[in-house]
Amino acid sequence: MNSLPIGIFLQGAALMLSLIVAIGAQNIFVISQGLAKNHVAAVCMVCALSDAVFTAVGIFLIGGALKQGSLLTQILGIGGIIFLLCYALSSFFSAYKGSHFAKIQNSANSPLAPVVAKALAVTLLNPHAYLDTVVVVGSLGATIADAQKPWFYVGVMFVSFAWFFGLGYGSRALSKLFASSRAWRIIDALVGVLMLYMAYLIAKFVFKI
């Protein structure tokens, strides 16, 4: 493993990028708020700071104790699979009913507190988020020398902040392209398929299937 700070930084950045680009519940919520142009900065900050806390716990505190196949990893994996399956069913239902577009329209003027609460819920109640940040990032971070771990952490967080704010404000800039119920029916259907695929990947990682 490259011991130079820039090499460690890039390893952390590359790992986080490979995990965060997957369309999960957090990303979908950030996109939704970006399209609604509703408290985008606050939502992005909540998601990025949550990543900062979870990855710090994984890298600096308990990452070394988390291994593929461990009981905690299996518990988080099962929780993540259930969460993603429920999210997939919800997305397919929204695609059928065309209800997500109406929710986006209605949330355009939502107060800050409920939006932040939803951002926290979609993060803290999602075991998939813990699996990515605490288990995967933490277990790989545990292989790095203590003196180099801060560089690894900075690389991880650089990508996290850049991703969420880019996603939120990028969605806001493209909101006119998705200003129709038909577009959101297609998006919801695709999200449902992606959630099923993510559930499969988690099962494959945790249970070695």
Q: The domain containing residue 198 runs over which residues?
A: 6-207
CA distance 32 to 178: 10
Residue 45 lies inside a defined structural domain of this protein:
yes
User: What's this model's pTM, rounded to 2 decimal places?
Assistant: 0.73
How many other CB atoms sit within 10 Å of the CB of residue 67?
A: 12
Task: Report the candidate in 133, 128, 129, 126 with the shortest Cα–Cα distance to residue 156.
Answer: 133
Residue 127 lies inside a defined structural domain of this protein:
yes
Q: Which residue has the tokens 């109640």?
A: 125
pLDDT of residue 158: 95
CA distance 200 to 209: 9
| Residue burial 146-167, b: 16+ Cβ < 10 Å; e: rest | eebbbbbbebbbbbbbebbbeb
**Both structure tokens of 98:** 């065309």
How many other CB atoms sit within 10 Å of the CB of residue 176?
A: 8
Q: Which residue has the tokens 């277990």?
A: 139
pLDDT (tens, 9 = 90+) of the chain, 209 residues, equals 455 688 899 988 988 887 776 667 788 889 888 888 889 999 999 999 999 999 999 889 876 666 555 677 677 778 778 877 887 888 888 888 876 555 665 556 778 999 999 999 988 888 878 878 887 788 778 778 888 999 999 999 999 999 999 999 998 887 776 666 777 788 778 878 877 877 787 787 777 76
pLDDT of residue 139: 76
Residue 199 lies inside a defined structural domain of this protein:
yes
Task: Report the candidate in 102, 103, 94, 104 with the shortest Cα–Cα distance to residue 192.
Answer: 94
pLDDT of residue 1: 45
pLDDT of residue 190: 81
Question: What is the total count of domains within the chain?
Answer: 1
Residue 1 lies inside a defined structural domain of this protein:
no
Q: Which residue has the tokens 């909540």?
A: 46
Task: Report the candidate in 16, 100, 115, 101 with the shortest Cα–Cα distance to residue 56.
Answer: 16
